[in-house]
Amino acid sequence: MRQTRSGAIKAGLYILTVSMLIYVVVYMSTPYMINQPGTAESVKPMVSIQSGDSQEEGTFMLTTVSVSYANLWMLATAKLHRHAEVVRKEPDRNEREYETQQRYFMNSSQSNAILAAYNKANVGYNIVSQYVFVIGLSKDNKPKGDFQSGDIIRQVDGQEVTRFDQLGSLLQAKKAGDQVAVVLERDGKQTQQQVELVPIKTTDGSQRAGLGVTVGELRKVQPTDSTKEVTFVDTRIGGPSAGLMFTLEIYNQLTEGDLTKGHRIAGTGTIAEDGTVGEIGGVQFKIVASEREKAEIFFVPEANYKTAKAKADEIGSNMKLVPVKHLDDALNYLASLPEKAS
């Protein structure tokens, strides 16, 4: 009997030790993230226009960086991956806030891509604000209400809120300590709460009253010709860096002919309404992803060219790197590109 009890205790301790080890190595969080090459994906399946020209023998590809919250096992093995990079997480930012922020950047990027393409193709449009939502919670003056990243702010003191400036106007005459009624929408359900306003520092050093959250505004671009409305598929990809490639695909569908001319064209870069292409992060990972997908051409923001060229040389890539500062730079290059032989 004693031997049986002793064996059971040993077995129990063994199971407990293994369970704790698995938890520490696999599940316990660390203050690090791991960046690696992500994907180079065709943009065409993500974008549709009812009256658009769907002819496209080649492909425009957006590129991504794979970002993972690291556990101990991932940290230990990261050095074995040639293109992996370990970075510290931003303090006090949780995974939900990060994902909400990335989705907001992507939505803004898509809106700007539509605007840049419409402006270039001379398509008339109106901009409609849809709602204001919570991106994250203030680290300096934490909110005194129940807020989460992704919450939609529907009303403040009985007034509907659809634009960022409306929220500012409603709180302008308030002071810290005042109570306001806030209607939030979370996961499709609306709730109302009384929220005490907190002091918020402004850029000029003064203070104003606020909710203690950072917010974003979701806008929709509506063309005057409804058949030219752009629809995006939800891809779960985040960030602003696909702007240029979205714009090229949208413009390609809005105009006759095929801008790709049969080539596999990858790229990256933010886009502004006026077509300005902006710098991005992680270009070295996107070069690797594009090489894996046999891209022939890579559009890179001029500010990222040196880093992109160094990575392309390191991996022995034959991709043609084309530095761009504006949408016109990319379009002019494509105009001079010969048709690819079948």
12-21, 131-140, 329-338 — which is least confidently predicted? Answer: 12-21
pLDDT one-digit tens code per residue, 224-264:
999 999 999 987 777 889 999 999 999 999 999 999 999 99
108 is catalytic: no
User: Are both 70 and 207 inside the same structural domain?
Assistant: no
| H or E element in which residue 17 lies | helix 2-22
* Same-domain check for residues 185 and 324: no
Predicted pLDDT of residue 43: 96
Give the number of other Cβ atoms within 10 Å of residue 73's Cβ.
13
Q: Residue 19: is its pLDDT beyond 60?
A: no
Residue 25 has a pLDDT of 47
Spell out the alpha helix ranges (H) of the chain: 2-22, 72-78, 95-121, 164-172, 243-254, 283-292, 305-314, 327-336
Which of 103-107, 180-184, 192-196, 306-310 shows the lowest per-residue confidence on average (mean pLDDT)?
Answer: 103-107
Domain boundary among 182, 217, 252: 217
Kindly calculate the radius of gyration of the chain based on its CA atoms and give it in whole angstroms.
Answer: 25
Same domain flag for 238 and 324: yes
CATH at residue 136 = 2.30.42.10
Q: What is the mean pLDDT of residues 82-90?
A: 73
- Residue 28, pLDDT above cutoff 70: no
Query: Which one is predicted more confidently, 10 or 208?
Result: 208
Residues 6+ apart with CB under 8 A from 20: none
Point out the domain boundary residue: 197, 217, 237.
217
Which of these three, 217, 239, 264, is where a domain ends? 217
pLDDT at 33 over 80: no
Name residue, tokens 């022939």.
Answer: 296
196 versus 11: the higher-pLDDT residue is 196
One domain for residues 94 and 151:
no
Q: Is 286 a catalytic residue?
A: yes
pLDDT exceeds cutoff 50 at 23: no
Place 66 in a pLDDT band, splitting at 50, 70 and 90: confident
Q: Is residue 17 part of a domain?
A: no
- 179, two tokens: 């109570």
Q: Which residue has the higher pLDDT, 46 or 29?
A: 46
Say which residues have a Cβ less than 8 Å from residue 35's Cβ, sequence separation at least 6.
Answer: 65, 66, 67, 84, 85, 87, 282, 285
If DSSP codes are grouped into helix, strand and coil, which group holds residue 129?
A: strand
Mean pLDDT of the region 38-66 = 93
Report the alpha-carbon distance of residue 69 to residue 36 in Å, rounded. 12
304 falls within a domain: yes
Contact 71, 25 (CB under 8 A): yes
Two tokens at 115? Answer: 């605007």
6 found inside a domain: no
Most confident of 14-23, 52-61, 64-73: 52-61
> Is there a domain that residue 14 lies in?
no
- Pair (116, 228) in one structural domain: yes
Judgement on whether residues 46 and 90 belong to the same structural domain of the protein: yes
271: in domain: yes
Beta bridge partners of 279: none
So what's the pLDDT on residue 64? 94
- The token pair that represents 333 in the structure block: 């290059």
* DSSP reduced 3-state for 45: helix
What's 253's domain CATH number?
A: 3.30.230.10
Sign of CA dihedral 12, 13, 14, 19: positive
Which tokens sit at 2?
């004693």
- Confidence at 24, pLDDT banded by 50, 70, 90: very low
Model pLDDT for residues 137-156, shown as the tens digit of each residue: 887 788 888 999 999 999 99
pLDDT at residue 70, as a whole number: 65
Q: Work out the pLDDT band at 69, boundaries 50, 70, 90.
A: confident
In a domain, 10, yes or no: no
**What does DSSP assign to residue 337?**
P
- The strand pairing partners of 192, in sequence order, are 183
Rounded to the nearest integer, the mean pLDDT of the chain is 87
271 and 112 in contact (C-beta within 8 Å)?
yes
Say what the pLDDT of residue 17 is.
61
Q: Which of 7-11, 46-50, 316-320, 324-328 has the lowest mean pLDDT?
A: 7-11
Residue 121 confidence (pLDDT): 96
Residue 189: inside a domain: yes
**CA distance linking residue 268 with residue 266, whole number of Å:** 7
Looking at the structure, do residues 73 and 210 belong to the same domain, yes or no?
no
* Catalytic site residue from 109, 111, 149, 241: 241
- DSSP class of residue 212 equals S
* Structural domains of the chain, count: 2
Phi first, then psi, for residue 241 (nearest 5°) are: -80, -5
Catalytic site residue from 111, 120, 228, 286:
286
Both 163 and 302 in one domain: the answer is: no
- pTM, two decimal places: 0.82
> Tokens 């909400």 sit at which residue?
100
Q: Check whether residue 119 and residue 229 sit in a common domain.
A: yes
Range of the domain at 203: 129-217
Torsions phi, psi for 8 (to 5 deg): -65, -40
| Residue 341, domain member (yes or no) | no
Give me the mean pLDDT over the 173-181 stretch. 89
Span 50-71, average pLDDT: 87
252 and 329, same domain (yes or no): yes
How is 225-263 classified by DSSP, letter by letter? Answer: SGGG-EEE------SSTTHHHHHHHHHHHHSSS-TTTT-
Q: How far apart are CA 190 and CA 192, in angstroms?
A: 7
Quote the percentage of the chain above a pLDDT of 90: 56
Could you tell me if 153 and 274 lie in one domain?
no
Angstrom distance (rounded) from CA 184 to CA 154? 6
Angle between helices 95-121 and 243-254 (to 10 degrees): 40
120 and 53 within one domain: yes
